[in-house]
């Protein structure tokens, strides 16, 4: 069974502060995929990043960076110089690879989400 733990529930920072959102996962598979999604107050789910289990290279995209460490089963997300528009709920998610050519069993298992509030 797969599990995603986001221990932080709510984080509040002042604009321009850096903030790290933690994510710890559990899976028995050797091939799996990790994701971060953003859910702004408008409610839609916005895809941010996907990493597969064989690619531990950290990634940076503008003010966003991700640190994937298989040794600690963590996939943490850092926002540098946070802005008010970053205020949202952030979800970490895990999907195991298809175990057949069916493909439809790639369900996403989500963490409980972290509510980030960035104050001006």
Partner 1 sequence: DTAVSQTPKYLVTQMGNDKSIKCEQNLGHDTMYWYKQDSKKFLKIMFSYNNKELIINETVPNRFSPKSPDKAHLNLHINSLELGDSAVYFCASSHKGLAGTYNEQFFGPGTRLTVL
Q: Determine, following the binding rule CB under 8 A, whether residue 76 of this chain makes contact with partner 1.
A: no
Kindly report the backbone phi and psi dihedral angles of residue 86, in degrees, each rounded to the nearest multiple of 5, phi listed first: -80, -10
Asked if 45 is part of the footprint of partner 1 (rule: CB under 8 A), the reply reads yes
Confirm or reject binding of residue 59 to partner 1 (CB under 8 A). Answer: no
Is 32 in contact with 96 (CB distance < 8 Å)? yes
- Residue 65 contacts partner 1 per CB under 8 A: no
Distances (CA, A) of 120 to 16, 81, 84, 89, 116: 9, 12, 6, 18, 13
State yes or no: residue 3 binds partner 1 (CB under 8 A).
no
Residue 91 Cβ vs partner 1, minimum distance, rounded to whole Å = 7
CA 110 to chain centre: 9
Residues 23-42: x/- map of binding to partner 1 (CB under 8 A)?
--------x-x-----x---
- 12 contributes a contact to partner 1 by CB under 8 A: no
Question: What does each C-alpha distance from 13 to 24, 40, 60, 69, 86 come to in angstroms?
Answer: 22, 16, 21, 25, 11
Q: Which residues bind partner 1 (CB under 8 A)?
A: 31, 33, 39, 43-45, 47, 50, 52, 89, 91, 95, 97-110, 112-113, 115
């Amino acid at each position: 069974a797969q599990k995603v733990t986001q221990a932080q529930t709510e984080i509040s920072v002042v604009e321009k502060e850096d903030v790290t959102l933690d994510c710890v996962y559990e899976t028995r598979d050797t091939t799996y995929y990790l994701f971060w999604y953003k859910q702004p107050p408008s409610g839609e789910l916005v895809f941010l990043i996907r990493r597969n289990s064989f690619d531990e290279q950290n990634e940076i995209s503008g003010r966003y960076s991700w640190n994937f460490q298989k040794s600690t089963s963590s996939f943490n997300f850092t926002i540098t110089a946070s802005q008010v528009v970053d205020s949202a709920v952030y979800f970490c998610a895990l999907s195991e690879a298809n175990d057949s050519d069916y493909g439809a069993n790639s369900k996403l298992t989500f963490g409980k989400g972290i509510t980030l509030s960035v104050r001006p």
